[in-house]
């Protein structure tokens, strides 16, 4: 069995999320997804959707074998528990792969880090980010 971990906020699911998770699932035989807790999201606006609801939505997606909420204080706790062979990063996720690999090694976690492929962005109307979805809602639904 080749366990893979994917992780993210997954606020307002969109085709970019599905593409990332499909790619991640193809990197192994069992896909575990770690959903960031709201209080740990510091690199962008906090999620709109509550933690448990985001976990339930991700768990319902076909490529996902198991969805987990992240640890409130230590992002590596669920990774240690799952013990993946691969950590799949999203194509445009902000992670520094060298720093992540060093942190994993420091904790004795031996796994490969891979990036998902980019999603074809030919259609300018396609909403591929939570921020763009929120912007569109504000444009369409406010005076």
Question: Which ranges of the chain does DSSP label H, i.e. alpha helix?
Answer: 15-25, 51-59, 76-82, 97-106, 130-141
Mean pLDDT of 77-94: 94
Can you give the residue ranges of every domain in the chain?
3-141
Annotated binding residue 16: yes
Return the structure tokens found at 5: 């971990």
Handedness of CA 66, 85, 42, 45 (dihedral sign): negative
Annotated binding residue 84: no
Annotated binding residue 43: no
Q: Residue 61's pLDDT band (boundaries 50, 70, 90)? A: very high
Q: Which of 26-40, 71-85, 122-136 has the lowest mean pLDDT?
A: 122-136
Query: Is a pLDDT exceeding 90 seen at residue 125?
Result: no
Half-sphere exposure of 83 (CA within 13 A, CB side): 3
Query: Is a pLDDT exceeding 80 seen at residue 72?
Result: yes
Q: How buried is 69 (Cβ within 10 angstroms: 0-12 exposed, 13-18 middle, 19+ buried)?
A: middle
Fold of 3-141: Rossmann fold (3.40.50)
Handedness of CA 39, 113, 79, 129 (dihedral sign): positive
Query: Is a pLDDT exceeding 90 seen at residue 45?
Result: no
Annotated binding residue 68: no
Half-sphere exposure of 55 (CA within 13 A, CB side): 15
Annotated binding residue 10: yes
Q: Residue 118's pLDDT band (boundaries 50, 70, 90)? A: confident
Higher pLDDT, 53 or 134: 53
């Amino acid at each position: 069995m080749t366990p893979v971990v994917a992780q993210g906020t997954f606020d307002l699911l969109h085709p970019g999320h599905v593409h990332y998770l499909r790619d991640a699932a193809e990197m192994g035989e069992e896909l575990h997804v770690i959903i960031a807790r709201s209080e740990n999201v510091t690199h962008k606006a906090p999620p709109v959707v509550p933690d448990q609801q985001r976990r339930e939505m991700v768990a319902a997606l076909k490529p996902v074998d198991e969805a987990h909420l992240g640890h409130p204080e230590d992002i590596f706790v669920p990774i240690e528990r799952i013990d993946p062979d691969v950590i799949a990063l999203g194509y445009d996720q902000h992670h520094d792969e060298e720093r992540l690999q060093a942190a994993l090694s420091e904790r004795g976690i031996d796994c490969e880090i891979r990036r998902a492929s980019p999603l074809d962005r030919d259609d300018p109307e396609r909403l591929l980010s939570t921020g763009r979805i929120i912007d569109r809602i504000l444009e369409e639904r406010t005076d």
